[in-house]
Amino acid sequence: MSDPYLTESETLLRKTIRDFVDRELAPNASSYDLNEEFPSTIIKKLSELGFFGLTIDTNYGGTAGSTTQLAILTEELARGCASTAVIFASHLSLCTKYIDLFGSDGQKRSYLPGLINASTIGAFALSEPDAGSDAVAIKTTVSDIDNGFLINGTKHFITNGREAGIIIVIATRDTNLGSKGMESFIIEVPASGLTITPQKGKMGIRASSTCELHFNNVFVPFDNRIGKPGAGFEMTMRILDIGRILIAAQSVGIAQMALESSINYSKTRTAFGSAISDFQAIQTMLANMATEVEAARLLTYRSASLLDAQLPFETTASMAKLFASKVAVESADKALQIHGGAGYFAPNIAERLYRDAKVTQIYEGTSEIQRIIIARKLLED
């Protein structure tokens, strides 16, 4: 029986991706995590299935489709491996989508096909050592030179930085201009003057790389500026609005696996002469997890379907990310509690989910930033 909330094609997509994840991704997730290994085989297969073209213009090789499909796909990937989900989401929603929505025809022709077949991995560089939540405060500069621009500065916490062949970089022409001074560029990697250094010691999502990028007079051809001068901040905010739906979906996937692994473990683990699933203390945790995961999923799908219907979706996307990331963290905590001592030692699924969940409350806008966005909307005249 299909879910009445989803269309037939969305239901089929979920089944296809779930089968793939259960067969090929989930069994290897722990090893990707422990070895901090980029899941190249999986990325290649996802591209062969056409998933990197979802919601992207068919004139440039995209497969169109809906944001709801994208959310389902991201959720199912995260259910098997949260790292793979963020690699996928950063590549598609922060890099490919940036060019798809705001790039020129030439930029789309040059860059979208490689991003869609994932022969080129995409990254997005906004955050800096002194500018995370306060995105207007970036200090990476752009200046003019014959035939193009020079970029100078440092970006950090850049997902996919180690593998990226293309990076969308946000820079400021003049910090005194605030958000109106920002511009966005497509940088091809390797680039002379660009140093990329993986950042070590990450708590979770360890199969995805997180890097510092140092720009020392990096030349960008004139044709690689995206959009108009001064439009960089607004384009970036619009991209993050969409990206937050996918981080909400990633959170739902993490929470869903926390629930499933807890159900399975509690049925097999015995204590005091019976399976621990017989105890109401465990049942209460499972019931709360299941209810919260379902609520987070519905809010996430709602934000995706608002975007698909071209209705205002931004506040709902922030609500979805705020709520779903909280559910991911709390569900992973309950899963670890249910797994007990076994869950505290790697490799154990509860241990990995616990570490993977936390960052969903931090990247693509912390929970505090989501609350600011939601409250501003509630209070606007």
Any contact of residue 78 with ligand CAA (CB under 6 A)? Answer: no
Of 71, 126, 248, 357, the residue at the interface with ligand CAA (CB under 6 A) is 126
Of 32, 233, 265, 301, the residue at the interface with ligand CAA (CB under 6 A) is 233
CB of 215 to ligand CAA, least distance (A): 17
Query: 3-class SS at 132?
Result: coil
Q: How far is CA 250 from CA 57, 240, 324, 353, in A?
A: 24, 15, 9, 12
- Catalytic, out of 183, 351, 364, 380: 364
Active site (annotated) includes residue 364: yes
- Identify which of residues 205 and 349 has a Cβ nearer to ligand CAA in the complex: 205
Any contact of residue 241 with ligand CAA (CB under 6 A)? Answer: yes
Q: According to DSSP H, which parts of 216-279 are helical?
A: 232-268
Q: Do the beta carbons of residue 321 and residue 84 sit within 8 Å? A: no
Backbone angles phi, psi at 245, to 5 degrees: -65, -40
Any contact of residue 90 with ligand CAA (CB under 6 A)? Answer: yes
Any contact of residue 170 with ligand CAA (CB under 6 A)? Answer: no
Residues 6+ apart with CB under 8 A from 134: none
Any contact of residue 240 with ligand CAA (CB under 6 A)? Answer: yes
Any contact of residue 363 with ligand CAA (CB under 6 A)? Answer: yes
Stretch binding ligand CAA (CB under 6 A), from 7-15, 28-36, 218-226, 229-237? 229-237
Of 179, 305, 337, 367, the residue at the interface with ligand CAA (CB under 6 A) is 179
- Identify which of residues 247 and 350 has a Cβ nearer to ligand CAA in the complex: 247
Stretch binding ligand CAA (CB under 6 A), from 45-53, 131-139, 164-172, 323-331? 131-139
Any contact of residue 209 with ligand CAA (CB under 6 A)? Answer: no
Alpha-carbon distance of 79 to 215, in angstroms, equals: 36
Any contact of residue 314 with ligand CAA (CB under 6 A)? Answer: yes
- Identify which of residues 1 and 311 has a Cβ nearer to ligand CAA in the complex: 311
Alpha-carbon distance of 21 to 253, in angstroms, equals: 12
Q: Between vectors from CA 185 to CA 179 and to CA 188, what angle results, nearest 5°?
A: 155
Alpha-carbon distance of 358 to 254, in angstroms, equals: 10
Greatest Cα-to-Cα distance within the chain, rounded to the nearest angstrom = 78
The Cβ of residue 3 has, within 10 Å, a number of other Cβ atoms equal to: 9
Which tokens in the block code for residue 132? 């995370």
Of 71, 86, 118, 151, the residue at the interface with ligand CAA (CB under 6 A) is 86
**Alpha-carbon dihedral angle through residues 276, 281, 286, 289, given to the nearest 10 degrees:** -150
Alpha-carbon distance of 141 to 8, in angstroms, equals: 48
- How many residues comprise the chain? 381
Query: Nearest Cα to 81, choosing from 207, 265, 249?
Result: 207
Of 101, 189, 286, 372, the residue at the interface with ligand CAA (CB under 6 A) is 372
Any contact of residue 101 with ligand CAA (CB under 6 A)? Answer: no
Alpha-carbon distance of 145 to 341, in angstroms, equals: 60
CB of 380 to ligand CAA, least distance (A): 11
Any contact of residue 373 with ligand CAA (CB under 6 A)? Answer: yes
Stretch binding ligand CAA (CB under 6 A), from 11-19, 299-307, 330-338, 364-372? 364-372
Of 135, 168, 257, 317, the residue at the interface with ligand CAA (CB under 6 A) is 135
Q: Do the beta carbons of residue 209 and residue 160 sit within 8 Å? A: yes
- What does the binding site for ligand CAA look like in residue numbers (CB under 6 A)? 86, 90, 126-127, 133-136, 157, 159, 179, 233-234, 237-238, 240-241, 314, 363-365, 369, 372-373
Residues annotated as catalytic are: 364
